[in-house]
Amino acid sequence: MNILVLNCGSSSLKYQIINMDTKDVICKGLVERIGIEGSKLTHKVPGKDNYVIEEAMPTHKRAVELVMAAITDADHGVISSVDEIDAIGHRVLHGGQKFTKSIVVNEDVKAAIRECFDLGPLHNPANLMGIEACELAMPGKPNVAVFDTSFGMGMEPKAFRYAIPLEYLNKYSVRRYGFHGTSHDYVSHRAIEIAGLDPKTAKVLVCHLGNGASISASIGGVCVDTSMGLTPLEGLIMGTRSGDVDPAIIQYICNKEGKTVNEVLDILNKKSGVYGMTNGISSDFRDIEIAAENGNKDAEIALEAFRYRVAKYCGAYIAAMNGVDCICFTAGVGENDKVTRKIVCEQYLGYLGVKIDDERNNVRGQEKLISADDSTVKVYLLPTNEELKIAMDTEELVKG
C-alpha cells in the first residue's frame, strides 16, 4: 500500500510517499512560497538528482496538482498514475476537544477542523486547504486527518485543566492540549517495543527536543501529561519560544514598552527562547553551543537553563507517573546532542540511579540504548518519524 503523507503550512507543503509493505520512503518533497512570488517545488527520489519545478503556485490546489505531476513524471516520478496511491494522510495541527485519534475525513470532520481555526490560526486553515486540494486532485481517495493534539487528549482533567474560571473551558475550550503528539505517540510506542516493556503498564518519558520542544509522560501508551498547553508556547525553553513564564510579564512589558498583548505574545513565540536569552545569537542550538564554547556567558546560561528546564519536567513527570521505565530522547537536539542527554540524565536524575554509558551515548540519529547496563532506567535515543506514524494511522483506518 502506498500512502501519500502531506504536511501543509500556510505557504509551504511537505510530502512523502511511503510504501507501507517495506516502510520505505519512495520519494519526498517540499513546495515553498505557495501564494507568494517565486513558488518552487523540490522533488527528491532516493539515489536520483532533485527535480525542481518553478512556476506560479497561487493556491494549495495548484501546489498539489504539481506534486501529482512530479510523482507521476515520466523521468522523475515514482509511480505511473495517481491510482497507485491508496490514501492520503494529513498532518492537522489542532483537533480541539473533538478528536482523540486519527479519523477518515468527511464533511463533518472538515467542519470540525474549521471550528478549530481559532485554536490553530496559522496551521488549521492550511491543513484544511491541503485536504480539499487532495479531494479535488484525487477524487474518491480516502483522506485521513492525523492530529498533533490527539495524543495529549489522553490527559486526565487534573493534568489538562488550567486553574482559571471554568467558563473559559466551557465557552472557548481553554485547556491544555499538547503538541508534537504524533512524535510522542510514535516514540513512546517504539520504546515499548524495543525495550520489551509491558504495553499496558510501561511508564515512558519522551523528550522531543528540537527547535520546538516538549516532553510527554505516558503509561501504557496513554498520555499522562505533556508540556505544551493550549498553544505550543507552554513548557520548555525552545529555539525562539519562551516556554513557561509568569503571565503577568505580558502586562508588565506592555505597560513598560507601550506594546499590545499581541506584540508581546509575538515576542514570546518568535524572539525568546535561547535566541532571546542570548540577545539574538541564534535559535539554532549548534550556534549556541559554539558561542558557549567561545566563552559567551549568555549562551552558557541559555544552554544550562534549557537543560535544567528539561530535567525539571522529567522530575515532575516521573512523580506524575510514580516511576519511570524508560526515558527517550528525540528530534534535532535530542538525537544529536550527547551533552544534553548526559546532563539531564546524570546531573539531575542521577539520584534515581539513571546512568549513561558514554560510549553508547556517543551517537547521532539512530535507534540506540544509551544507558549503562546497571542503570535503573533504560535510556534510548529514538529518532522520531512523524510521517511514518501518519502513514501507519492512515493505513490502519483505510484497511478498516
Residue 224 or 237 having the CB closest to ligand AMP: 237
Q: Which of 159, 200, 190 is nearest to 176 (CA)?
A: 159
Residue 210 engages ligand AMP in binding (rule: CB under 6 A): yes
Closest distance to ligand AMP from the beta carbon of 355 (Å): 22
Q: Helix, strand, or coil here: 53? A: strand
Closer residue to ligand AMP (CB): 15 or 51: 15
Closest approach, Cβ 32 to ligand AMP, in A, equals: 16
Q: Does 333 bind ligand AMP (CB under 6 A)?
A: yes
206 lies in the site for ligand AMP, by CB under 6 A: no
- As a whole number of angstroms, the distance between CA 265 and CA 210 comes to 21
How close are the terminal C-alpha atoms of the chain, in Å? Answer: 14
Least spacing, CB of residue 382 vs ligand AMP, in Å: 13
Q: Which range touches ligand AMP (CB under 6 A), out of 21-29, 90-98, 170-178, 285-293?
A: 285-293
CB of 334 to ligand AMP, least distance (A): 8
> DSSP readout, 139-203?
TT--EEEEETTTGGGG--HHHH--SS-HHHHHHH--S---S-HHHHHHHHHHHHHHHT--TTT-E
Instruction: Please say which residue, 101 or 338, places its beta carbon nearer to ligand AMP.
Output: 338
Closer of 43 and 208 to ligand AMP (Cβ): 208
The single residue among 99, 151, 186, 285 that binds ligand AMP, judged by CB under 6 A, is 285
Q: 147 vs 285, which CB is nearer to ligand AMP?
A: 285
The position carrying cell 549513561 is 356
126 neighbors 180 (Cβ within 8 angstroms) = no
Quick one: CA torsion of 54, 59, 64, 67, rounded to 10 degrees?
0
Q: Does position 99 bind ligand AMP by CB under 6 A?
A: no
Closest CB 261 distance from ligand AMP, rounded Å: 27
Q: Is 336 in the site for ligand AMP (CB under 6 A)?
A: yes
Residue closer to ligand AMP (CB basis): 127 or 282: 282
Distance of alpha carbon 36 from its chain centroid, rounded? 26
For residue 300, state whether it binds ligand AMP (rule: CB under 6 A).
Answer: no
Q: Which is nearer to ligand AMP, 160 or 275 (CB)?
A: 275
Q: Is 358 a catalytic residue?
A: no
Q: What is the DSSP letter of 245?
A: -
Q: Which of 204, 303, 331, 381 touches ligand AMP by CB under 6 A? A: 331
Task: Give the residue nearest to ligand AMP (CB).
Answer: 332
Find the helix or strand (DSSP H, E) in which 18 lies: strand 13-19
SS3 state of residue 32: strand
CB contact set of 167 (below 8 Å; sequence gap of 6+)? none
In the chain, helix, strand, coil percent, each to 5? 40, 20, 40
Q: Find where cell 474560571 sits.
A: 165
The CA distance from 288 to 392, in Å, is: 36
- The piece of 70-78, 281-289, 297-305, 366-374 that touches ligand AMP (CB under 6 A) is 281-289
Note whether 29 binds ligand AMP by CB under 6 A: no
Instruction: Say whether 243 sits in a helix, a strand or coil.
Output: coil
Stretch of residues binding ligand AMP (CB under 6 A), selected from 101-109, 124-132, 282-290, 317-325? 282-290
Smaller CB separation from ligand AMP, 284 or 367: 284
Q: What is the distance between the alpha carbons of residues 168 and 153, in angstroms, rounded to a whole number?
A: 18
- Which is catalytic among the residues 83, 108, 148, 357? 148
Site pattern 234..263 for ligand AMP (x: CB under 6 A): -----x------------------------
Shortest distance in whole angstroms from residue 168 CB to ligand AMP: 31
Those residues with Cβ within 8 angstroms of residue 31's Cβ, 6 or more apart along the chain or in another chain: 12, 13, 14, 15, 39, 40, 41, 42, 57, 63, 66, 67
- The Cα 149–Cα 187 span in angstroms is 15
Q: How many residues bind ligand AMP (CB under 6 A)?
A: 13
Piece of 3-11, 117-125, 312-320, 333-341 that binds ligand AMP (CB under 6 A): 333-341
State the residues that interact with ligand AMP by CB under 6 A. Answer: 210-212, 239, 284-286, 289, 331-333, 336-337
Catalytic residues: 148
